[in-house]
A and B are shown apart, each in its own frame.
Chain A
Amino acid sequence: MAKAKSGPLARRPDNSAFKQQRLPAWSPMLTANTVLPFFYFMAVICLLLGIWLLLTVQSVQEIRMDYTDSGACAHCHDLRKNVSNAALICTCKLYFHVDRPLKGDVFFYYGLQNFHQNLRRYMDSRDDAQMVGRKTNLKKPSSYCKPFATNDKGLPIAPCGAVANSIFNDSFKFQYLGSGSSDEPVPLWRKGISWYTDKNIKYRNPQMDNLSLAEVFHGTAPPPYWHRPVYELQTHDAINNGFINEDLIVWMREAAFPNFKKLYGILQRTNKPFESGLPKGNYSVEITYNFPVQYFRGRKQVVLTTLNWFGGPNKFLPIAYLITSCLVLLAAIGLTVVCKE
Chain B
Amino acid sequence: MASPEGAAAAKVKLRPRKKKKSKKESKTRSVYANILGEEDDNNPNRHYADNKIKTTKYTVLSFLPKNLFEQFHRFANVYFVFIALLNFVPVVNAFQPELALAPVVFILSVTAIKDLWEDYRRHRSDKEINHMDCLVYSRTERRYVEKFWKEVHVGDFIRLRCNEILPADVLLLSSSDPDRLCHIETATLDGETNLKQRQVVRSFFDLDCDFDPSKYNSVIECEKPNNDLNRFRGYIIHRSGRRDALYKDNLLLRGCTIRNTEEAVGIVIYAGHETKAMLNNNGPRYKRSKLERQMNVDVFWCVIILLVMCSFAAVGHGLWMFQYGDKRPVFDVLSPEGTDLSPVLSAIYLFLTMIIVFQVLIPISLFVSIEIVKICQVYFIHQDAELYDEESDSHLQCRALNITEDLGQMQYIFSDKTGTLTDNKMVFRRCTVAGVEYSHDANARRLAMYQEMDSEEEECPSRGGTLPRRDSVGSHHSVKVVLRSHSTKSHRRTGSRAEAKRASILSKHTAFSSPMEKDITPDPQLMDKVNECGSQMDFMRFHSQPMSQLPSDLGDIMDFFIALTLCNTVVVSSPDQPRHKVRMRFELKSPVKTIEDFIKRFTPSRLTSGSNSSSSSSLATNRSSTKGCSSTLSSPSAESVNADGGAEHPNAAATCQPSSANHIAVFLPVPFCRACFQGNSKGKRQKKIIYRTQNYLNQYAADGLRTLCIAKKVLSKEEYACWLQRHLEAETAIQGREELLFESALRLETNLQLLGATGIEDRLQDGVPETIDALRKAGLQIWVLTGDKQETAVNIAYACKLLDPEEEILTLNADSMEACSLLLEESLHYIQAKFLCGSAKAFHADFAPFHIYPSSPPPPPHWSSSHAAVHRLGLVIDGRTLAYALDRSLEDKFLAVARSCRSVLCCRSTPLQKSMVVKLVRNKLKVMTLAIGDGANDVSMIQVADVGVGISGQEGMQAVMASDFALPRFRNLQKLLLVHGHWCYSRLANMILYFFYKNAMFVALIFWYQFYCGFSGSAMIDQWYLIFFNLMFSAFPQLITGTLDKDVSAQTLQQLPQLYINGQNSEEYKPYMFWMNMIDAFYQSLVCFFIPYFAYADSDVDLFTWGTPVTTIAVFTILLHLGVETKTWTWMNWLSICFSVALFFTVALCYNASCPTCYSPSNPYWTMQRLLQDPTFYLLCLITPAAALLPRYFYRACQGTIFPSPVQVGRQLDRLPAKDPHGNILSLSGIQTGARPDPERKSSVAKDPRRPREESQRPDASLSVRIDLPAEGGVKYTKNSQERLSVG
Contact = CB atoms under 8 A, between A and B. Distances in A.
Interface of A: 1-2, 8-15, 19-21, 23-36, 42, 46, 49, 53, 109, 111, 115-129, 132, 134, 142-144, 146-147, 162, 165-166, 195, 197-198, 201-202, 225, 253-263, 292, 295-296, 298, 309-312, 314, 316-317, 320-321, 324, 327-328, 331, 335, 338-339
A207 B748 CA distance: 111
Interface stretch (B124-132, B897-905, B1026-1034): B124-132
A19 B378 CA distance: 11
B39 interface: no
A127 B1160 contact: yes
29 contacts: A9-B501, A12-B385, A13-B382, A13-B395, A21-B384, A26-B1129, A27-B1215, A29-B1208, A31-B1204, A35-B1197, A119-B1018, A120-B1013, A124-B1161, A129-B1160, A146-B336, A146-B337, A197-B1166, A256-B1096, A262-B1100, A296-B329, A310-B1174, A311-B1099, A312-B1098, A314-B1094, A314-B1096, A314-B1099, A316-B1091, A316-B1095, A320-B1094
B1187 interface: yes
Interface of B: 94, 124-125, 128-129, 324, 327-338, 353, 380, 382-385, 388, 390, 393-395, 501, 504-505, 508, 1012-1014, 1016-1018, 1020, 1044, 1046, 1050, 1091, 1093-1103, 1105-1107, 1124, 1127-1132, 1156-1157, 1160-1163, 1165-1166, 1170, 1174-1176, 1179-1180, 1182-1183, 1186-1187, 1190, 1193-1194, 1196-1202, 1204, 1208, 1211-1212, 1214-1215, 1273-1274, 1276
A146 B333 CA distance: 9
A1 B464 CA distance: 39
A207 B955 CA distance: 86
A132 B1105 CA distance: 20
Contacts of A11: 388, 393-395
A26 B1176 CA distance: 33
Contacts of A122: 331-333, 1016
Contact of B1046 (A13, A21, A125, A143): A21
A295 B1050 contact: no
B1050 A317 contact: no
Given A25-B1129, A118-B1020, A201-B1156, 12 more contacts: A2-B125, A2-B128, A13-B382, A23-B1132, A27-B1046, A120-B1018, A121-B333, A128-B1157, A255-B1100, A257-B1097, A314-B1097, A335-B1197
Contacts of A256: 1012, 1020, 1096, 1101-1103, 1105-1107
Nearest to B1184: A320
Contacts of A165: 330
A125 to B, nearest CB: 5
A147 B334 contact: yes
A35 B1156 CA distance: 46
A11 B391 CA distance: 11
A324 B333 contact: no
A1 B1156 contact: no
A23 B393 CA distance: 26
Contacts of A46: 1183, 1186
A148 B395 CA distance: 71
Contacts of A27: 1046, 1127-1129, 1211, 1214-1215
A8 B505 contact: yes
Nearest to A312: B1099
A120 B336 contact: no
A1 B1186 contact: no
Contact of A195 (B1101, B1131, B1166, B1273): B1166
Nearest to A225: B330
Contacts of B1128: 25-27
A258 B1011 CA distance: 10
Nearest to A259: B1098
Contacts of B1095: 311, 314, 316-317, 320
A74 to B, nearest CB: 20
Contacts of A124: 1160-1161
Nearest to B1276: A339
Contact of B1198 (A53, A314, A335): A335
- Residue among A35, A142, A262, A263 with max Cβ neighbours from chain B (10 Å): A35
Contacts, number: 283
B1160 A128 contact: yes
A295 B1175 contact: no
Interface centre among A117, A128, A263 (most CB of B within 10 A): A128
Contacts of B94: 120
A1 B1273 CA distance: 53
Nearest to B1194: A331
B1013 A29 contact: no
Nearest to A17: B1130
Contacts of A263: 1100
Q: Which 6 A-B pairs have the closest CB atoms?
A: A120-B1018, A146-B336, A296-B329, A124-B1161, A25-B1128, A35-B1197
A197 B1165 contact: yes
Given A9-B501, A116-B1013, A197-B1165, A338 B1201 contact: yes
Contacts of A146: 336-337
Contacts of B394: 11
Contacts of B501: 8-9
Nearest to A109: B1100
A254 B1186 CA distance: 30
Most chain A CB within a 10 A radius of its CB, from B128, B328, B1095, B1105:
B1095
Nearest to B93: A124
A35 B1199 CA distance: 12
Contacts of A31: 1197, 1200-1201, 1204
Nearest to B1178: A310
Contact of A143 (B324, B336, B1131, B1187): B336
A312 B1201 CA distance: 43
By CB atoms of chain B within 10 A, which of A118, A143, A255, A321 has the most? A118
A24 B388 CA distance: 23
A338 B1161 contact: no
A142 B333 contact: no
B1098 A314 contact: yes
Contacts of A331: 1190, 1194
A123 B1132 CA distance: 42
Contacts of A225: 330
Contacts of A255: 1100-1103
A13 B384 contact: yes
Contact of A120 (B330, B1016, B1091, B1204): B1016
Given A29-B1215, A316-B1094, A320-B1187, A335 B1194 contact: yes
Given A13-B383, A197-B1165, A202 B1156 contact: yes
B1101 A9 contact: no
Contacts of B505: 8
Contacts of A24: 1130-1131
Contacts of A259: 1097-1098
B1102 to A, nearest CB: 4
A136 B1123 CA distance: 51
A42 B1186 contact: yes
A13 B388 contact: yes
A41 B462 CA distance: 47
B821 to A, nearest CB: 52
Given A12-B388, A118-B1103, A257-B1097, A32 B1127 contact: no
Contacts of B1105: 256
Contacts of A120: 94, 353, 1013, 1016-1018
Nearest to A148: B333
A26 to B, nearest CB: 4
Given A256-B1106, A295-B324, A144 B1201 contact: no
Nearest to A260: B1100
Contact of B331 (A2, A15, A116, A197): A116
A29 B125 contact: no
B1215 A35 contact: no
A305 to B, nearest CB: 10
